[in-house]
Structure 1
């Protein structure tokens, strides 16, 4: 059953020009609906907004039962990763460009937010990836990602060669500019530009997408999300790995990147009637057919 909310956290892309009046307008609207409002501490400090309590991410997870994220998909990715373990529902107000996961336009935030705050909304859960980098049988880096884990060649080097295993099975040695392991959410991000298919968010699977593969027969493949994907650096200098926006550079030969399904999921709230297919039509300009 949908719930009404009591305490709302507001997070903004605080480095964006002109974000302060937008955040203040949204905060005033939410308080006008009878809810308590707190600002993410970094957002408040960067914008100079002082009219509301400020909370860290962990404090938000304990005190707030809803978070409104104002910005683009990058802002949402960063915050979702921090708040996921608390299970706090997220609403995205788009001030960026594409906005696949920040899907409420800033121009219509009032008409979209009012029903959500009153308990009238569509809820969906998105799977996350988690993984680690292993060197000499010890973990040197761990990360969590909503979109993807990307292993890339060095900036000045040629292609990288990766030995890829899924579960207990060897898949291939891939020579390419890199390899993307993407969630269904990430299938409309880097994986899409690299030629991968779009996965509906309800599909329990990952994408494995080579980037500019040396062998044209190396094609994207959809994997079940039950096993672990392992990628070992076989050749190539200064390779790096990115878990969404968390990066580790200068990987060595023999380093292994492991990726698996996270125990955490991200909960998104959308206006009633929201449709994933309508989002694709709008963002990818699929204008044919009924809109």
Structure 2
């Protein structure tokens, strides 16, 4: 029987030592092997095999994302050609995708080994940008450089032109990404059970001024117009191009492009509802903390304690 291999996707800056140690001990007991990107080999024990970044997902049976939503999105993008289940371990600030807190990890790994979990399927945007195909599980954004004017672009759907935008930023999001940049820009929350794409202008000055919700079967084309400001193109918050002043972005929709491990879908949903409600409360962080359930507040306190000397 071939040995099961798990791939570790690490937050680029946070200390992951404790979480990786838990996973390594568990994997040794289960006789499973671990892999990590070559550039992260100095952050893990020698028993973890380093692989080229573009080979980790293909070479592993499942992935463990250690970080926040950004790390989770990176893991999903890495596995988009051959989707693998991704378990998210939370080391971020306000994660909507990750489910497992570090103290819960041993029990969560046991359940994964026993195949006692469900898989949440995620769609992504497939975008033609800068003569290359890229994917985004949250959003694609055209963002103006401060002080350089406005994003000016036309909207076409399945080849039919519908209007134009003049705004600070233009956000195209999946249902998963509707809680992120789209939500901050005033766009709607979209059920993750739907196949939809949302196009939302941030701080619109002219043209289309409201969010547009489109079918996942429609192809979107955003084309910069003459006189547009220099535009940065972001994919899931990662900059693809710094200062485009011309050209177009074509966006399609791919179903079932990512697989997220869910251990307790109902509790996960309740946590996210709480996080969304806190975002809209105009309170200081200390005040928000008092509104959290005791269990979650204790977990935050443990995480913020200084390490023993």
TM-score normalized by structure 2?
A: 0.82
Aligned residue for 2:33? 36
Please tell me whether the aligned partners of residues 151 and 170 of structure 2 are also in contact (alpha carbons under 8 angstroms).
no
Aligned-partner SS, 1:116 = helix
* Structure 1 residue 93: Cα displacement: 0.4
Question: Contact 1:10–1:27 at 8 Å: present in 2 too?
Answer: no
CA contact (8 A) 1:180 1:211 kept: yes
Equivalences, count: 276
265 and 91 in structure 1: CA distance in 2 versus 1, 3 angstrom threshold: same
Question: Matched residue of 2:84: which SS?
Answer: coil
Q: What is the distance in 1 between the residues matched to 2:13 and 2:149? A: 35
Q: Does 1:188 align with 2:179?
A: yes
Cα deviation for residue 215 of structure 1 reads 4.1
Q: Does 1:96 align with 2:92?
A: yes
In structure 2, the CA distance between the partners of 1:273 and 1:185, relative to structure 1 (3 Å rule), is closer
Does the Cα contact within 8 Å between 1:116 and 1:270 map onto a contact in 2? no
Out of 106, 113, 124, the position equivalent to 1:110 is: 106
Q: 1:38, CA displacement in angstroms?
A: 2.2
> How many angstroms apart in 2 are the aligned matches of 1:228 and 1:35?
42
Aligned partners of 1:277 and 1:264: how far apart in 2?
20
Once the two structures are TM-superposed, the CA of residue 217 in structure 1 deviates from its matched residue by 6.7
Aligned pair in 2 of structure 1 residues 225, 152: CA closer, same or farther (>3 Å)?
same
- Say if 1:14 and 1:173 are closer, same or farther in 2 by CA, change over 3 A: closer
Matched residue, 2:8: 10
Choose 191-200 or 102-111, whichever is displaced more.
Answer: 102-111
> Could you say if the C-alpha distance between residues 217 and 260 of structure 1 is closer, same or farther in structure 2, counting changes exceeding 3 Å?
closer
> Which consecutive residues of structure 2, in runs of 5 or more, have no partner in the other structure?
279-290, 292-309
Select the structure that is richer in helix.
Answer: 2
Task: Identify if the C-alpha distance between structure 1 residues 124 and 48 changes in structure 2 by more than 3 Å, giving closer, same or farther.
Answer: closer
Give the secondary-structure state (helix, strand or coil) at the position aligned to 2:204: coil
Q: Look up the match of 1:213.
A: 204
Q: CA deviation at 1:162?
A: 1.0
1:187 CA drift (Å): 0.6
- The whole-number CA distance in structure 1 between the counterparts of 2:198 and 2:233 is 16
Q: 1:243 aligns to what?
A: 235
The alignment partner of 2:81 has SS state of helix
Q: Measure the CA separation in 2 of the matches of 1:152 and 1:203.
A: 26
- Is 1:24 the counterpart of 2:21 in the alignment? yes
C-alpha change, 1:153 and 1:83, in structure 2 (3 Å) is same
Partner residue of 1:132 out of 128, 150, 157: 128
Tell me the residue number matched to 1:136: none
